[in-house]
Amino acid sequence: MDHLLTICDLTVAEVGGIFELTAELKAKPERFADALAGKTLGMIFQKSSTRTRVSFEVGMFQLGGAALFLSSNDIQLGRGETIADTAHVLSRYLDAVMIRTFDHQDVVDLAAFGTIPIINGLDDLLHPCQGLADLFTMKEVFGDLSGRKLAYVGDGNNVAHSLLMAGAKTGVDVSLAVPPNYGPQPEIVDAARDAASETGATLQVVTHPAEAVADADVVYTDVWASMGQEAERAKRLQVFQGYQVDAKLMSAAKTTAVFMHCLPAHRGEEVATDVIDGPASVVFDEAENRLHVQKAILLKLLT
């Protein structure tokens, strides 16, 4: 592994290897206390974050290394210095960079111009660390991923894109229910379908939530307006009416189904309070697993 820009760049075996290492890291974190001694991760944030920032920073600390929070408000990137120059310079100081930004091309360019591993910590197109943590969480809950189904209800956004790819690489069927014109990008669906041919996973995009959720092991949703879409929020609240994950929709899934959400959540919008705060919700396990999965990614990239 050279970088983590998109889950589609990983082989099926690499995803399996990340999950194996994640389980070891979670069970015996003390065994890895010096694994990244002397290494420094830079973390560029052009958008807000709670989980990504804290889990990467704590993860580096727990592995014996250090992390630097680089807000784009405070570094020259925010004043027009190019991605290329930023990549060249940071490669001279750091061992790896995690970036959260808008344009996916900026993540690709950072990797192309720099000489150190780049990790995509979310962009407008993808959220690979989230997709990997979610499928790892699903494996923990069900023991085995083969033959499982994840239903995603809502916006065909960065999280939906990475779940399609993560399902494809792990053999999990993914069914998306999205309003017309708010679906996943066709090239992402095509890339995920290509990847799925190796594992046998099926990927489906429909418009009716109940259709996606039928026989699902996981019902997943995300916010209706992502970071950067604040101006569309009022319109989106209208468009997504009927796409809330509530108790009735959960009852259309398997009786053993769990509820997942990458967080942050808007209770009363994409999810009903009694679902996200109810017994089927595993949202905080997902959030915790961001830490363990990212530590595995850091070890794969830096050792």
- Nearer to ligand CP by Cβ, of 50 and 146: the residue is 50
Q: Tell me whether residue 241 is one of the annotated catalytic residues.
A: no
Asked if 208 and 272 count as a contact pair (C-beta separation under 8 A), the reply is no
Q: Tell me whether residue 236 is one of the annotated catalytic residues.
A: no
| Distant-in-sequence, close-in-space partners of 218: CB < 8 Å, separation ≥ 6 | 138, 148, 149, 150, 151, 257, 258, 259, 260
Asked if 17 and 48 count as a contact pair (C-beta separation under 8 A), the reply is no
What mask, x for binding ligand NVA by CB under 6 A, covers residues 222 to 251?
xx--xx------------------------
- The Cα–Cα gap between 174 and 214 comes to 12
What is the rounded (10 degree) CA torsion for 270, 275, 276, 279? Answer: -160
- Catalytically annotated residue among 3, 51, 261, 290: 290
Q: Tell me whether residue 290 is one of the annotated catalytic residues.
A: yes
Under the criterion CB under 6 A, does residue 157 sit at the interface with ligand NVA? Answer: yes
Q: Which strands, in side-by-side order, build the sheet including 66-71?
A: 66-71, 40-45, 96-100, 118-120
Residue among 211, 221, 206, 204 nearest 259 (CA): 221
Q: Tell me whether residue 262 is one of the annotated catalytic residues.
A: yes
Q: Tell me whether residue 294 is one of the annotated catalytic residues.
A: no
- Catalytically annotated residue among 127, 148, 161, 236: 127
- The Cα–Cα gap between 294 and 291 comes to 5
Q: Which strands, in side-by-side order, build the sheet including 218-221?
A: 203-206, 173-177, 149-153, 218-221, 258-261
Binder of residue 223, out of ligand NVA, ligand CP, none (CB less than 5 to 8 A by kind):
ligand NVA
User: Interior CA angle at 96 toward 124 and 67, to 5°?
Assistant: 95
Q: Tell me whether residue 130 is one of the annotated catalytic residues.
A: yes
What mask, x for binding ligand NVA by CB under 6 A, covers residues 120 to 139?
--x-----------------
Minimum separation from the CB atom of position 261 to ligand CP (A): 9
The H-or-E segment that residue 43 falls in is: strand 40-45
Minimum separation from the CB atom of position 22 to ligand CP (A): 17
Binder of residue 66, out of ligand CP, ligand NVA, none (CB less than 5 to 8 A by kind):
none
- Catalytically annotated residue among 3, 46, 124, 130: 130
Binder of residue 226, out of ligand NVA, ligand CP, none (CB less than 5 to 8 A by kind):
ligand NVA
Where along the sequence are the contacts to ligand CP (CB under 6 A)? 49-52, 122, 130, 262-264
Residue with the CB atom nearest ligand CP in the bound state: 52
HSE of 167, CA atoms in CB hemisphere, 13 A:
29
**Which residues form the catalytic set?**
100, 127, 130, 222, 262, 290
Site residues, ligand NVA (CB under 6 A): 122, 157-159, 222-223, 226-227, 262
